[in-house]
Amino acid sequence: MPDYGFETLAVHAGQDPDPSTGAVMTPIYQTSTYAQPAVGEHRGFEYSRTGNPTRQALEACLAALEGGSRGLAFASGMAATDAVLHLLQQGDHVLAAHDLYGGSYRIFERVFGQLGLTFSYANAADTQAFLAQIRPDTKLIWLESPTNPLLDLCDLAAISHAAHDQPSSPLVCVDNTFASPYLQRPLDLGADIVLHSTTKYLGGHSDLVGGGLVVRDDALAERLAFLQNAVGAIPGPLDCFLVLRGIKTLPLRMQRHAANAAVIAGFLADDQRVTSVHYPGLETHPQRALVQRQMRNPGGMLSFQVGSAAKARAVAGAARLFTLAESLGGVESLIEVPAAMTHLSVAGSPLEVPSDLIRLSVGVETIEDLLADLDQALGRA
């Protein structure tokens, strides 16, 4: 598409009116196969594992939003993660940020670790110390920024450019789920692969499960497309339609998510019942300057600590408007205790998260209602 603004791309990229009917919204092509005019000839689609018009529209939209040349849609964020890891060979090493989604750690250690890949973890917020952990056999660097669940940032440009100067020239993959492409575009900062759980902010309504990858390099895109087709972990057309529907309001939602989160973070930071708050938008956040340089705004995710695991469970259980649930990025506000929920897989490991940590996915509800709910939950704990 022409050099349109982000909001225009969110509404239109990959989604021209249907040429046969004029439908403005991309149709749900609920089909598994396609009639061919002759043996070995097709009209661009032959079998929906390989390609589907609804999925094609989503993939084009994802690529446009992230500034890439090719987007690839998957059945889940973990299916997208699996595809990236399948780029590697037995004996290859992956260097990952030490604060990351528990599901990523699980597939690293308990699936691909058994297949001969090796993994190590370091604090990516300390750029030089992190880069010092790159080894001759390092073929992939795995980053989150902000991280899940401590909301740390890393300098994506510095790490990406320095990594590519290494003799092993590892690929840099950034899980951009917490930020969304509206807040941050890692490819512009030098990353090779951007990953999303489209379940979260891109879908935005807690009604689908999906994943996506975006790249700029054509050869890398072909390798990933081969894996997408060979393994077959692709989303159905209805899920693709729902992600496209959600993306249309992504800029508006992200603005409200961030505005609400900033107010809540300030409220919690001033509350004596809270021992610490992790939110990149706070003036006291140690990477505040990096937030301003790397992101459009600090986003809608935050976490805070309350002094004990028992109190964290009590606060989460006492919330009424904040729904006690895993996941994030929907229009509704969610609350969870990562150590006992999304990050249970890192329990007992060096990546274990604080047991008194509470994570919030701040929704788009009336801010006074959200503040009142947190106040009463903290009071009842």
Reading the block at residue 92, the tokens are 């290859």
Q: What pLDDT is attached to residue 42? A: 87
Dihedral sign from CA coordinates of 5, 8, 11, 13: negative
Phi, psi of 199 (to 5 degrees): -55, -35
pLDDT of residue 228: 98
Q: What is the dihedral of CA 297, 82, 99, 189, to 10 degrees?
A: -40
Asked if residue 302 lies in contact with residue 362, where contact means CB atoms within 8 angstroms, the answer is yes
Q: Which residue has the tokens 């009209």?
A: 43
* Contact predicate 77/197, CB 8 Å: yes
Provide block-wise average pLDDT over 10 residues at a time, the chain (381 residues). 90 93 95 93 92 98 98 98 98 97 97 97 97 97 97 98 95 98 98 98 98 98 98 98 98 98 98 98 93 96 98 98 98 98 94 97 98 97 84
For residue 2, what pLDDT is reported?
72
Supply 28's token pair: 């749900």
Joined together, the tokens standing for residue 191 give: 């990353």
What global pTM score does this model have? 0.97
Q: What pLDDT, on the 0 to 100 scale, is given for residue 1?
A: 67
Asked if residues 248 and 24 have their Cβ atoms less than 8 Å apart, the reply is no
In this prediction, residue 381 carries a pLDDT of: 84
Full strand arrangement of the beta sheet holding 357-361: 276-278, 301-305, 357-361, 334-336, 323-324
Question: Active-site positions?
Answer: 49, 101, 175, 200
Under DSSP, the state recorded for 32 is S
In the chain, what are the domains? 6-247 (3.40.640.10), 250-380 (3.90.1150.10)
As a whole number of angstroms, the distance between CA 193 and CA 170 comes to 11
Cα torsion angle, 83, 347, 125, 131, sign: negative
pLDDT of 300: 98
271-to-127, 133, 211, 323 alpha-carbon distances in Å: 32, 39, 37, 21
Q: What is the largest CA-CA distance in the chain?
A: 73
> How far is it, in rounded angstroms, from Cα 65 to Cα 68?
8
Question: Any idea what the Cα angle at residue 286 is, between residues 133 and 348, rounded to 5°?
Answer: 55
Beta strands in the chain (DSSP E): 70-74, 93-97, 118-122, 138-144, 171-175, 193-196, 211-215, 276-278, 301-305, 323-324, 334-336, 357-361
> Minimal CA–CA distance to 240: which of 209, 286, 265?
209
Structure tokens of 365?
A: 């509800």
Q: Which residues contact 355 (CB under 8 A, 6 or more apart)?
A: 308, 309, 312, 339, 340
Tokens of 314: 């009590």
List, in sequence order, the alpha helices (H) in 232-335.
Answer: 237-247, 250-269, 288-294, 309-318
How does DSSP classify residue 278? Answer: E
Residue 149 and residue 342 in contact, taking contact as beta carbons nearer than 8 Å? yes
Going by C-alpha positions, the residue among 64, 46, 31, 110 that lies closest to residue 247 is 64
pLDDT score at 309: 98
